[in-house]
Structure 1
C-alpha cells in the first residue's frame, strides 16, 4: 500500500496510523461524514473541500491530508474504511502484531479484555491487539476473529447448532 510505504519512508507510520484510527472513529460516529465519502452526487471539488475541512478539524498529519485529497480527487473516498483496515493490518504485521476482532453480547470489562488478550497472545505466539465490539444478538459468549480464523463461542451459534441437530 502506497500510504504505508510513504509513511515508513518518512518515519511517520505511528502518526499516520493514529490519524487513520481517528478518522475511522469519526466515520463510525458521523452519518454526515459517511455521506460525504459515499455520495456519488457530490463533485470532486465538494468532496475534497469537505474532507480537507474534516482533516483540519481532526488535526491530521500532512501526509494523511494529502492521501485524503488524492482519494477525493480520484473519487475513492468510499473505499476509505477498507484502506484504513489494510493500513492497520500492514502496520501491525510490521510490528509483529495481530488484531483480534472480539464481538460479545455485552461490553467486556478491562479485566476481561486483559485476560482475553493474554490468552490470545499465548495462543498466537505474538502480540494481539483487541478490537472489541458489542452485538446483543449473540445472547452471550464471544466471537473472536483473527485474520481468517474465527472462534465462535456465542450462545446464538450453540442454539442454532442444537436446533439443526434436532431437525435432522
Structure 2
C-alpha cells in the first residue's frame, strides 16, 4: 500500500483498515458499508452534524455523548456503532469522512471493483454509462463503480479520475491548452 500523504490520511487509513478487518471477520462488510454511507450522507446534509464532526470546539465528551445519542436513534450494527463511539472518544471525528471514503475503497477492492469519478458536461444516458463503464473496466482490469457528477463548466467531454490518475478530455481543458499555445506563438 502506498504511504499516505498526510498525517490525517494516515489516521483515516488506520481506522478504516481496522474497521475493514473487523467487518470482514464478522462477515458484515455490506452492512457496515451501507451504515457508513448513511453517516456520510448525514455529514453532507445536516449542518449541525457536520459542525459536530468538523469543529474542534467540542470536547471529546461532548462529541461522544452526541454520537451515542445518534447511534441510539439510528440503530446501526454494534460494530458500526462502537466504531463511531471510539472515533468520537479519541477526538477523530474530523477524519470520519476520510475514514468512510477509505473503507469504501477497501471494500470495493475486496470485491474486485474500482471506484471511478466521472465528471461530464451533461448527464450520461444509460448507453453512454454502460459503454464508459465497459471501457474503463477493460482499462483497469476490474469491475468499475462510477460516481457521476455533472459540471456544465467543462463544456463537453469528460474528466475521469481512477485512483490517483486523471484523464481530462474536457473541451474546457482543450480550449485552455489552445489558449496557452496561442500565447506562446504570439
TM-score clears 0.5? yes
Q: Choose the corresponding residue for 1:129, options 136, 145, 168.
A: 145
- The answer as to 2:116 corresponding to 1:100 is yes
- Alignment partner of 2:115: what SS? strand
Q: Once superposed, what is the RMSD of the aligned Cα atoms?
A: 1.6
| Aligned counterparts of 1:59 and 1:158: Cα–Cα separation in 2 | 49
- Alignment partner of 2:81: what SS? helix
TM-score, structure 2 length as denominator? 0.83
- Alignment partner of 1:75: what SS? coil
TM superposition shift of 1:54: 3.1
Which structure 2 residue ranges, 5 or more long, are not aligned? Answer: 1-16
Q: Which segments of structure 1 move beyond 4 Å, counting only runs of 4 or more? A: none
Which residue number corresponds to residue 29 of structure 1?
45
- Alignment partner of 1:98: what SS? strand
Q: How many residues are treated as equivalent by the alignment?
A: 168
- Alignment partner of 2:156: what SS? coil
Cα contact 1:36–1:42 (8 A) shared by 2: yes
Closer, same or farther: CA 159–22 of 1 in aligned 2, 3 Å: same
| Aligned counterparts of 2:73 and 2:156: Cα–Cα separation in 1 | 39
| Aligned counterparts of 2:29 and 2:127: Cα–Cα separation in 1 | 29
Closer, same or farther: CA 30–111 of 1 in aligned 2, 3 Å: farther
TM superposition shift of 1:131: 1.1
| Aligned counterparts of 1:29 and 1:21: Cα–Cα separation in 2 | 12
Closer, same or farther: CA 16–135 of 1 in aligned 2, 3 Å: same
TM superposition shift of 1:105: 2.5
Closer, same or farther: CA 149–44 of 1 in aligned 2, 3 Å: same
- The answer as to 2:164 corresponding to 1:148 is yes
| Aligned counterparts of 1:145 and 1:129: Cα–Cα separation in 2 | 12
